[in-house]
Amino acid sequence: GNSVTQMEGPVTLSEEAFLTINCTYTATGYPSLFWYVQYPGEGLQLLLKATKADDKGSNKGFEATYRKETTSFHLEKGSVQVSDSAVYFCALTAGYSSASKIIFGSGTRLSIRP
Amino acid sequence: DAGVTQSPTHLIKTRGQQVTLRCSPKSGHDTVSWYQQALGQGPQFIFQYYEEEERQRGNFPDRFSGHQFPNYSSELNVNALLLGDSALYLCASSFVGRGRRGTEAFFGQGTRLTVV
């Protein structure tokens, strides 16, 4: 079946450090891939997405590249800020429609020290 | 645009009781999906409603049921509550339309359900 595996947290970094959160997936066909972010006490916000192989999604300084050969979609940011502290979820949809059900990873909690 | 709104924000129920959670989709959206997020876990898909019918369902028992109204709003009902039903319940809306690829989902803030 379809699934997402992401690195376990928590991840603690100092401000301005480089961030990588690993994510790999298993899916039939050609899934769309997403990163969602959940700030404390809030719902999920879409951070970035990629819908086909070699696409790079980017937003707010975060980037992730859809790698079909390694079935990966790692999240990176060159210089993190305290305001980036949140839980990050890697996810995929496997249906034709972008509104298809979303399969999430277990989440990675990120804490940034001033 | 108010986005996706859910009510109530918090709820405490006793084991065995029944609960109804409500969701209003983002303006222009016609599809509502429900997810359960247990503490420290990723959200799990419960079901999806489109044109007032359940279109997809995840691996949840029949105690979980739903409804979509003509104005696209939706309810999630859970009967015979168990302690393990304590979670954040998230509603997501999207636009599917007819014969289109559709838009990605927008999530509400969630309803925190505690079963005691």
Question: What was the pLDDT predicted at B2?
Answer: 74
d(CA B96, CA A41): 29
Question: What was the pLDDT predicted at A100?
Answer: 80
Of B31, B102, B107, the CB nearest to A43: B107
User: CA angle at residue B107 from B105 to B111, to 5 degrees?
Assistant: 145
Task: Determine contact: B11 vs chain A, CB below 8 A.
Answer: no
Partners of B108 on chain A (C-beta within 8 Å) are 43
User: Per-residue pLDDT averaged across A5-27, rounded?
Assistant: 95
The pair phi, psi for residue A93, each rounded to 5°, is: -120, 140
What is the percent of chain A where pLDDT is above 70? 96
Residue A96 has pLDDT above 90, yes or no: no
- Residue A29 — very low, low, confident or very high, per pLDDT cuts 50/70/90? confident
Unique residue bearing structure tokens 């014969």:
B99
What is the percent of chain A where pLDDT is above 90? 79
Residue B15 has pLDDT above 90, yes or no: yes
Residue B3 has pLDDT above 70, yes or no: yes
Partners of A34 on chain B (C-beta within 8 Å) are 104
Element (H, E) at B74: strand B74-78
Question: What was the pLDDT predicted at A71?
Answer: 96
> Residue A70, exposed/middle/buried by CB under 10 A (0-12, 13-18, 19+)?
exposed
Residue A9 has pLDDT above 90, yes or no: no
Partners of B40 on chain A (C-beta within 8 Å) are 106-107
Pairing mode, strands A11-14 and B106-107: unpaired
- Residue B96 — very low, low, confident or very high, per pLDDT cuts 50/70/90? confident
Q: Do B41 and A107 touch (CB under 8 A)?
A: yes
Question: What was the pLDDT predicted at A42?
Answer: 84
Give the model confidence (pLDDT) of A66-92 as tens digits.
999 999 999 999 999 999 999 999 999
